Amino acid sequence: MQDLTQYPSITPELIDRGHARRMGHLENYFALSSRQKLYTNFSMYCELNEACSKDQLVYAIRSICLKYPTLIHTVVPKNLPNSEEFYSSQEYLSKPWPVHDFIKVIDHLEIDDILMNNQPEYASLVAQLEDLFVHNGFKYSKEMAEILSPVAIPYCHQGRPNWRLICLPEEDRSTEKWRRFIFVSNHCSSDGSSAINFFKELVNELDDEPEKISNSTTVFDYAADHLQLNKLPKPIEERIDFKPPLSYIPRYLINSFISSSFGYRSPGGHTTAVDEIRDS
């Protein structure tokens, strides 16, 4: 029986259904990197052949999320809502914590929880991106990636997932459809391949959408949808055998000796948090 004292939102029922579990080592690493402000985000641009409406986007993303619940998960830290204070306290910093925190699927998700265009905290950034995109002749550029680079998607927001979508404007500014998107994620449980797969799935769902779709803005509601939801996948280290063959050990020892004795060592200082770099 797991001790859930520090995680009131995690229930045995969620765990039994496969909709909550402990983080894997790699997931925990990126959560730590986000918490220590050593990492911000990765992003990927995609352009579809045909534009889609908001209703179509809700339908497609909902279908994808039911198949791949990683897209609707969040990290559940210890001692919510006072987790930030806890992780900077002596209680936490004075000893190792070998048992990782949890991830769980979000209780309720609206399309505006995903679209950065409709989130006030990103209004200025999205406006910059849109203006630059139009100025570039509706082409994505490295300058847009640079504008996005400081954005840190919260890794433990209890009502929003670890990724966002930005809808870029069309040449016809009066239309309420989009075909150019930017996927932005904090990397806790996704990477570049995940972004590619998301856009592939998005295209497939848009191609196969029924004639009539709902005009609901709800992407997911756990109480109503949990029976349709797949289980969270196991951590990657439980699905891939990382144990090297015995023949690798001599090569590892020799390489370690060469690296430690003759390898390059940076004369730089300690690793600096992202926000300290921006403020300097």
Query: If we measure between CA atoms, which residue out of 227, 77, 218, 43 comes closest to residue 148?
Result: 43
Q: Which residue has the tokens 């040449």?
A: 171
C-alpha to C-alpha distance for 88 and 10, rounded to whole angstroms:
23
Q: Do residues 252 and 244 lie in contact, with contact meaning Cβ atoms separated by under 8 Å?
A: yes
H or E element, residue 177:
strand 177-185
Q: How many CB atoms lie within 10 A of CB 136?
A: 12
Sole residue written with tokens 């809502």: 81
Residue 113 · residue 161 · CB < 8 Å: yes
Among residues 55, 63, 54, 65, which one has the least CA distance to residue 19?
A: 65
212: Cα separation from own chain's centroid: 31
- Gyration radius (Cα) of the chain, Å: 21
Catalytic residue numbers, as ranges: 187, 191
CB 159 within 8 A of CB 69: no
Backbone angles phi, psi at 8, to 5 degrees: -60, -25
* Element of type H or E holding 124: helix 123-135
